[in-house]
Amino acid sequence: MKRRAFLGLAPLLFAPAWTGAQPGQRFSRGVLWRIVYRDKPASHLFGTIHVADPRLAALPEPVALAFESARSLTLEFAADGYARERFLEAAMFLDRQTLEEKIGSRDFERAVEQLAPIGLSREFILKLKPWGVLINLRNPRGAQPGSGPTLDAQLLARARARRLALHTMESVEEQIFTFDEFPMDSQIALLHHALEHQSELLAMSERTLEAYLRRDLDGIWRVQADYVRRYPAIAAHNAVFVKRVITDRSVVMAFRMQRQLRYGNAFVAIGALHLHGEKGVLKLLEEDRYRVERIY
């Protein structure tokens, strides 16, 4: 049995509760921001997207230039061997529960079929929790030849080559908590929907990436909000997901990244949606009296 040690938080599976940001709103566009605390040297905050794609095979030039002056790199999370195994263990039922009894035989067979391209066996999938399936459905084809490393992985490799100080904002247990305490009825409802509408979700993922490449944070939210409006039955379940994965974690990140921002010359990389809008990290930093300026 091939075990794919999937790890890390997925991009939004469906849609955030988009609030309709007004044109010109400061935190609606841009993925690289200069952050200044008092008289300290400037730091930089970069919004990434956690996928591998040939269009992301190289860091944008403004990002690479900003990174050259960094004395440290702070990421949401960086996995080691233990963390991968721990996350994998947490994504599985360790008692007599099974995925099939949670979602029914029909959708279980769909899950087996849709996860087959990444090498997960039927026996392994049987013991996955619904959220364990959901985070793998985001890219059931796995990494494609020529796709290259994710932006986060590129930054991590550069930091290690330069022997920069590396910091993370979340532990593996906190990442597990984000999903494992997600209500089971919502896990099941979202998984039923994802299995039924997989081709639409993959198309939505492409539009999301295109919006990211335009550095259009509003656009990312609109793509996904338009989708959930077509399927109101999942709206309440998805709202719980968005609160746990985006809004709540943004508050934590805005606090924890300040450990390095207060020294200056820090480089911080987080998912781009954590930058967006009035509840995002940029707004929270401004409220804590940081000066925030869009660079790219």
pLDDT tens digits, 125-141: 999 999 999 988 865 44
Distance of alpha carbon 211 from the chain centroid:
15
pLDDT at position 19, please? 43
pTM of the predicted structure, to 2 decimals: 0.91
13 domain residue, yes or no:
no
Asked, for residue 249, whether it belongs to a domain, the answer is yes
User: Does residue 117 form part of some domain?
Assistant: yes
Helix residue spans in 15-144 (DSSP H): 61-68, 81-90, 99-103, 105-115, 122-126, 130-137
Considering the domain boundaries, does residue 6 fall inside one?
Answer: no
Q: For the chain, give the percent of residues with pLDDT over 70.
A: 89
**Structural domain range at position 287:** 26-294
16-20, 238-242, 247-251, 272-276: which range is least confident on average? Answer: 16-20
Look up residue 208 and give its two tokens.
């999301």
For position 132, what pLDDT does the model report?
A: 95
- Count structural domains, the chain: 1
Q: Count the alpha carbons within 13 Å of 194 in the hemisphere toward its beta carbon.
A: 30
Is the pLDDT reported for residue 1 higher than 50? no
Q: Is residue 242 part of a domain?
A: yes
**How far apart (Å, rounded) are the C-alpha atoms in residues 41 and 54?**
34
In this prediction, residue 250 carries a pLDDT of: 97
- Is a pLDDT exceeding 70 seen at residue 41? yes
Distance CA 45, CA 150 (A): 17
224 confidence band (pLDDT: 50, 70, 90): confident
96 occurs within a structural domain: yes
* pLDDT, position 14: 52
Res. 20: pLDDT tops 80: no
Asked whether residue 20 is assigned to any structural domain, the reply reads: no
pLDDT at 256: 98
175 part of a folded domain: yes
